[in-house]
Amino acid sequence: MVSKRKLSKVDAFEESCKTDLPKTKKSRSSDKENASVFSGLENEGVFEELLRTSGIVLKAGEGQNEIAVDQMAFQKKLCLALEKHPTYPAVVKQFISGLESHIKDRNQFKNCLLPCTPVRTEGSRNLVHSYCESLIKLLLGIKILQPAVITLLLEKIPEFFYDIVGTFGTNFPRLIINQFKWLDRLLDSQDLVRKLMQMVSVSPVPIQHDIITSLPEILEDSQQSEVARELSCLLKQGRRLTVPILDALSRLDLDAELVAEVRQSAMTIVPSVKLEDLPVVVKFILQNVKAADAVEVISDLRKSLDLSSCVLPLQIHSSQKKIKSQVQASSSLSQVTTSQNCVKLLFDVIKLAVRFQKDVSEAWIKAIENSTSVSDHKVLDLIVLLLIHSTNTRNRKQAAKVLRSKIRLGCMPEQLMQNAFQNHSTVIKDFFPSILALAQTFLHSAHPAVVSFGSCMYKQAFAAFDSYCQQEVVSALVTHVCSGSETELDISLDVLRDLVVLHTSLLMRYATFVKTILDSTQKLNPCQIRKLFYILSTLAFSQKQEGSYIQDDMHMVIRKWLSSTVPNHKQMGIIGAVSMIGSVALKRSEGDAASLERPELNSERDEQLSTLLDLVGFCCEQTPEVLALYYDEFASLIEKQKGNLDLQLLDDFGKSLVEDFPSDFVVDLSPSVHGSFLFPVKPLYNLDEDQSQDAIAVNLLPLLSQSELGRVPAGASNQSKRAVSPLCLSPCFRLLRLYTAEQNSGSLEEIDALLGCPLYLTDLEVEGKLDPLSKQECEFLCSLLFYALNWFREVVNAFCQQQDAEMKGKVLTRLQNITELQNVLGKCLAATPGYVPPPATFDSEAPEAVPSINAAGPARKRGRKKKADGSKAGSADRSQAEDSSEGNQPDTELSELDKTAADREAGNPLAQLQSYRPYFRELDLEVFTVLHCGLLTKSVLDTEMHTEAREVVQLGPAELCFLLDDLCWKLEHVLPSGSTRRVPFPKERGNKDIGFSHLCQRSPKEVAMCVVDLLKPLCKHMENMHNYFQETVQKQGAEDEPGENIQEHQLMSSCYQLLLLTFRSLFSWNGFSQHENTDLLRSALQVLADRLKPGETEYLPLEELISESFQYLLNFQKSIPSFHCAYILTQLLIAIAEKPMSGWKKEKMASLAKQFLCQSWVKPSGDREKGSQFNSALHTLLCVYLEHTDNILKAIEEISSVGVSELMNSAKDACSSTYPTLSRQTFPVFFRVMMAQLESSVKSIPAGKPSDSSEVQLEKLLRWNIAVRNFHILINLVKVFDSRPVLSICLKYGRLFVEAFLKLAMPLLDHSFKKHTDDVQSLLKTLQMSTRQLHHMCGHSKIHQDIGLTNHVPLLKKSLEQFVYRVKAMLAFNHCQEAFWVGILKNRDLQGEEILTQASEERGSDEDEGDSEDSAEGPAEEEPSGSDTDGSEERGGAGPGPEAARP
């Protein structure tokens, strides 16, 4: 009832409208006018009338049109009303005309474009949906009205071209276009789309944007391709519509070809598109990637994307902030923010693609992996790899692997990572967990570049991210330090040290975390303790208030350690205390001047310093070893902080030092020394004999006697409480000279008398005098020599850099004294077994080091001995340790080579001074500047001095050998080669840093730079060696004094070898693979290249420098004196040529290696070189030859057929004439290398394919024929050389060769059997004979019950059985099954004799293997299968019966 009343009211309202309106008009006009007006109103009323009767009430103003019926019902009613109208079809025009008039008013037009409001009446609630379309949309759904309404709407759009959206609060063009979306049916969609595209061509950009983005909802499926092509063309024309076009295209269903075309269009605009549009473009490209072309698309996208454009606003902002106004700077900041937001959106797009599109993730990794050039890699690559690692768990390991590989290859330098963190920190911060995980993993790596990259990740993350991330970084680093892993520990402390230098105030917040490392100091060595206390001291004393609690903790720990009776704790206490002293005594910067004006702060520093000095002095003065460590640590502090210490604060300490040293260790030189000593005192090695007045001497022997005899009441004779011991002589002098140099700007005039003053020793002519001496006397003499040597070493350290000519001459003389003393010491040690020398380094646990180092007995038994001139034979031995498979075996021949004639004449076995290295004072790197010296006069000629003779001091071979040996030892320790890998589970560290305390305070790069500076004199020395040995070869006929010639030859050979080792250690350093060291590598190569082309190398590219350096070193090949030198030269050339190896260098390397192999290597004594070291070098050189030769199969055939044949026809101790290095002793080495290289070379032959042409098949068959023939020759050599090592090699590599044949050759035979039957048959026949011999070896192994050999048998027999079946399958594939025979193969020994067993005797009538030969049609197969039992005969696996059969 309510609804009826409602409707009646509406009807009444309509009637009143119809009657009232004409009445008003009628009162104003004439009858004619009234008629026309009524007619117009009647036409206008058709629109409203039909709408009302159909269920829609039009509203004016802000109210929305109301609909009282369901939408479908309305459309049906209206359609019927129009069709049944008396004036149909004219009524349609009237209706459209009414609509046009109605929408002239913008408010009414807006109502028609907005959704209608359903009439909420009780009766109609269930009839009308809660959401209704707009009136226009409903009219467009009526078939007879649609074309006219579409035309009307499109004509209305230009009215709004120049409207500013917001004037009327409505975007009319967008509302109009929205009406065309999702229509149930379009009568003429082609026409609509054509008109819309025309509209796009003339519309303003905002309307174009709306039209294009709406197209996917308007188009029918059949139109999508055509419109997509038009949009693609439009995309190429301009950049303004990039976003809407790609947005539209991404929602269209396009065929693959069109997608590729459009994607290519999008790809072309990537480099020039606006930054804010870039995410949309990249999204479109990634969304339309298919698996087939994913890698190609991503590779193109990588090349096109350039994040440098995103960085530009940031750089502009930083510059504008300095020079422009605040307003401009703020606008620039806004630009920076926009830029960063766009980059963030870009990586969000990539992240979505990586997470939900498997192909994109894998393709991006592959694209980065495929990039080879360093310049091709961008910041984008690093960020994407981090993104994949963080987002996609499936590809996480692969991303980490690729990143690690790129770092190793130098493609991801640290500079690139720094750019990523500095310019895109907002993006990278999202990947912080991955960054932390990768950094932790990289620190476990064995490759130094990867470790360095991981440490740099920590530093950059700390600097770029927020406090939470900083805390996590510090926690991770502390965890690394406490992990116990040596490399992790070192690198983590280095990172913390860098952070404390660069970000002291930031790290101060997390000092509590760093301080916890003090609880794990038991795992730290002295070098690491120094780093830790430097970090803590810097934090403690950089900011007074904040660091006070750290100071307190450090004081407590140091007091506890110093008062401990455990030597290790006392050492740590001294190291920590000296670190604190260094921090307190540092000069303050100008910024701290204001704070220093307050006297209480100065007094506080003085008080802290005096407290520390008193504390350490009190704890050290009674123990010489601890006091010596204190001196050494203080000396290292002064050396490290050169110029930065406030010496005024250390004035009291310096005065006492300058007073104590002369009173403790120096006395006036007198003809006789009073006292009771084990040996008579004699001053020796006086370089200032002409200056008799005020002469002094180092009181060494009396001090040692006092120390030895009065060991219990140490220092009792001294007036002070401080213990005076010869242990402290060298450390105290080192501290004195560094303090003096610091006080006097590097001048040592105050103490230069100590350079030439004599030492109180005893007569050192020990020849034949050692046997009568007691053990105590021998040990005393040895200790005396150790102290004297260490004194001279420190003297050389002190004065090596002085520019005065006389002092330089004295330094060279002291080097001669060192070599002489080492000769005497070697003889004394040989007569004093079990002797433990006094310590020379005090920052290690010496008692634990003694047993491993001082195994004097076994060392002498191994026969490795010391040269008289002081050079160590072990340098070459060490370099070979990793290459020799028998590194623990003796090398008496090499030691014999390195001995000098003086040792031979003496006849005394010399102890191995290599074992005593830790008991010598360390030489500083500055000492090697002496290598620059040529000829120097000891006394500069002066007319007043009237020197009688010009005494020339030259850096002779003995001194050169001594210096080079020490340099090699240092480089081996600090410059790891590219092949070094960390042991996964290393044994106890031991004391490998003993003797390298000063060296470890320098980075490998600093050491490498020092060596590069020495390259020029090293080249001169090597050229001298080259000339010497060339002259020696020419003068070999005339040997007037063979003994002296042998001595000289051996000494010069050692120098040559050490020089080559030095070059090899430098150029094989893995640090050169890092991008930041390229300039250093270039400098080193430039020195070598400049020796060939002086003055022409400055602007040569790196490749040419490598070639010139390679050629320079190649010129030394003709003067190589020993096989070991040849081996080192080869390794050196490979180290240089690897960057990278080109064709002509490979030829040269092969030629050089062959030349060395074909050269007879004889010692000066006339014996041929041999031994484990020789075999190891021979193995390497033979590998180099075969790996670098252009035809490895031909080379193997030549050695096996020519060289081995000559060997078999020669005498027992003779060698091959073509290859003198091939003897019966070295045959296993040759055999192993040839078998391994043969097996490796056949793997490089491509497997056969059905698509191969006949010529390709023939070429592969030819290569396999040669390989199988070589294999047959090598296998048959076992009949002559049947030693156990040769059999083991044969069984191992024989199986590998057969497996390679099955995998690679059999597919080739499958497809080439019909075309090349004879070749295939010949190939299989030859291989069949080899497999028989292998079967005989299996029988031999079981007969002899050799476990080492029988371990190879099961796998070998399995491969032989597979060979039988595979050949049968090949013949079946080619329809030649009848060509296959199976017979019983009898067990035979190496010589082919049958192995008789009970079973074989009973079956004497069984066929021999010869009965199973091939038929006329193809090869026969008689290979064994399974495992034999008790040596009985075996039956082929392919036949069913015991007799030979034709299946």
> What is the average pLDDT value for the chain, to the nearest integer?
76
User: How high is the pLDDT of residue 545?
Assistant: 60
Q: Could you tell me the pLDDT band of residue 793, with boundaries at 50, 70 and 90?
A: very high
Distance, CA of 1256 to CA of 1239 (rounded, Å): 21
What is the β-pairing status of strands 117-118 and 66-67?
A: parallel
User: How high is the pLDDT of residue 658?
Assistant: 84
853, pLDDT greater than 60: no
More confident position, 719 or 1205: 1205
Distance, CA of 876 to CA of 21 (rounded, Å): 121
- Could you give phi then psi for residue 181, rounded to 5 degrees? -75, 140
Distance, CA of 923 to CA of 996 (rounded, Å): 9
SS percent in the chain: helix, strand, coil, step 5: 65, 5, 30
Distance, CA of 1071 to CA of 977 (rounded, Å): 8
Residue 1324 buriedness (CB in 10 A; 0-12 / 13-18 / 19+): buried
User: How high is the pLDDT of residue 59?
Assistant: 83
More confident position, 715 or 600: 600
Distance, CA of 1222 to CA of 362 (rounded, Å): 52
User: How high is the pLDDT of residue 1058?
Assistant: 93
Which residues contact residue 625 at a Cβ distance below 8 angstroms, ignoring those fewer than 6 apart? Answer: 567, 727, 839, 842, 846
Select the highest-mean-pLDDT range: 91-95, 939-943, 1048-1052: 91-95
Q: Could you tell me the pLDDT band of residue 1254, with boundaries at 50, 70 and 90?
A: confident
User: How high is the pLDDT of residue 935?
Assistant: 40
Closest C-alpha among 1147, 1265, 1243 to residue 1197: 1265
More confident position, 436 or 1279: 436
Q: Could you tell me the pLDDT band of residue 785, with boundaries at 50, 70 and 90?
A: very high
Closest C-alpha among 953, 660, 651, 665 to residue 794: 665
1013, pLDDT greater than 60: yes
More confident position, 897 or 395: 395
Closest C-alpha among 373, 374, 449, 454 to residue 407: 449
Q: Could you tell me the pLDDT band of residue 1074, with boundaries at 50, 70 and 90?
A: confident
Which residues contact residue 248 at a Cβ distance below 8 angstroms, ignoring those fewer than 6 apart? Answer: 212, 213, 215, 216, 231
Distance, CA of 466 to CA of 1387 (rounded, Å): 77
Q: What is the pLDDT of residues 492-520, one digit of tens each?
A: 888 898 898 888 888 888 888 888 888 88
Closest C-alpha among 350, 251, 359, 264 to residue 307: 350
Q: Could you tell me the pLDDT band of residue 882, with boundaries at 50, 70 and 90?
A: very low
Residue 426's CB is within 10 A of a number of other CB atoms, namely 14
User: Torsion angle of alpha carbons 828, 831, 834, 835, nearest 10°?
Assistant: -20
Give the CA distances from residue 238 to residues 226, 303, 342, 1153, in Å, rounded to whole numbers and listed in that order. 19, 22, 21, 64
Q: What is the largest CA-CA distance in the chain?
A: 162
Distance, CA of 523 to CA of 533 (rounded, Å): 15
SS3 1385: strand
1394, pLDDT greater than 80: no
Select the highest-mean-pLDDT range: 83-92, 193-202, 790-799: 790-799
Paired tokens of 391? 């987002």
Paired tokens of 164? 């500013």
Q: At what angle do helices 1102-1114 and 1143-1157 cross, to 10 degrees?
A: 20
DSSP-assigned beta bridge partners for residue 761: 682
Q: What is the pLDDT of residues 1268-1303, one digit of tens each?
A: 998 888 888 888 887 888 888 888 888 898 888 888
Give the CA distances from residue 1431 to residues 624, 1248, 1335, 1386, 1407, in Å, rounded to whole numbers and listed in that order. 74, 38, 12, 9, 17
Paired tokens of 38? 């009524």
SS3 109: helix
- Report, as an integer, the average pLDDT of 1002-1007: 88
792, pLDDT greater than 90: yes
Closest C-alpha among 249, 256, 193, 244 to residue 223: 193
Cα dihedral 69, 75, 79, 82 sign: positive
Distance, CA of 818 to CA of 923 (rounded, Å): 12
Q: Could you tell me the pLDDT band of residue 372, with boundaries at 50, 70 and 90?
A: confident
Q: What is the pLDDT of residues 41-64, one digit of tens each?
A: 444 478 888 888 888 888 877 778
Alpha helices in 621-725 (DSSP H): 624-640, 651-665, 700-709
Residue type, 836: V
CA atoms within 13 A on the CB side of 877: 26
Percent of the chain's residues with pLDDT above 90: 8
User: How high is the pLDDT of residue 1009?
Assistant: 93
Identify whether the C-beta of residue 688 lies closer than 8 Å to the C-beta of residue 759: no
17, pLDDT greater than 70: no
- Report, as an integer, the average pLDDT of 418-425: 86
User: How high is the pLDDT of residue 1060?
Assistant: 94
Distance, CA of 128 to CA of 1303 (rounded, Å): 76
What is the β-pairing status of strands 759-761 and 935-937?
A: unpaired
Residue 1392 buriedness (CB in 10 A; 0-12 / 13-18 / 19+): exposed
User: How high is the pLDDT of residue 129?
Assistant: 66
User: How high is the pLDDT of residue 1245?
Assistant: 83
- Report, as an integer, the average pLDDT of 864-879: 37
Is omega for the bond preceding 957 within 30 degrees of 0, making it cis? Answer: no
Identify whether the C-beta of residue 179 lies closer than 8 Å to the C-beta of residue 153: yes
Alpha helices in 27-140 (DSSP H): 31-54, 71-83, 90-102, 106-113, 135-140
Q: Could you tell me the pLDDT band of residue 1385, with boundaries at 50, 70 and 90?
A: low
Identify whether the C-beta of residue 360 lies closer than 8 Å to the C-beta of residue 286: yes
Q: Could you tell me the pLDDT band of residue 1415, with boundaries at 50, 70 and 90?
A: very low
Distance, CA of 758 to CA of 699 (rounded, Å): 9
Paired tokens of 192? 């609509």
Paired tokens of 722? 């401080």
Q: Could you tell me the pLDDT band of residue 849, with boundaries at 50, 70 and 90?
A: very low
- Report, as an integer, the average pLDDT of 558-579: 86
Distance, CA of 1317 to CA of 445 (rounded, Å): 53
Q: What is the pLDDT of residues 1308-1356, one digit of tens each?
A: 888 878 777 888 888 888 888 888 888 888 887 777 777 878 787 888 8
Chain centre distance of CA 792: 42
In SS3 terms, 744-755 reads as: CCCCCHHHCHHH
Q: How far apart, in Å, do the first and last CA atoms of the chain sit?
A: 103
- Specify the DSSP element, H or E, that contains 972: helix 957-974
Percent of the chain's residues with pLDDT above 70: 78
1063, pLDDT greater than 90: yes
Distance, CA of 539 to CA of 535 (rounded, Å): 6
- Could you give phi then psi for residue 1345, rounded to 5 degrees? 50, 45
SS3 1435: strand
Closest C-alpha among 193, 204, 198 to residue 163: 204
Distance, CA of 877 to CA of 884 (rounded, Å): 10
**CA-angle at 150, arms to 144 and 156, nearest 5°:** 140
Q: What is the pLDDT of residues 701-734, one digit of tens each?
A: 888 888 876 533 333 344 455 668 889 899 999 9
Paired tokens of 991? 């004391």
Distance, CA of 529 to CA of 1125 (rounded, Å): 40
Residue 937 gets the label, from left (phi > 0), alpha (psi -120 to 50) or beta, of beta
423, pLDDT greater than 60: yes
User: How high is the pLDDT of residue 939?
Assistant: 36
User: How high is the pLDDT of residue 932?
Assistant: 84
SS3 25: helix
Q: Could you tell me the pLDDT band of residue 413, with boundaries at 50, 70 and 90?
A: confident
899, pLDDT greater than 70: no
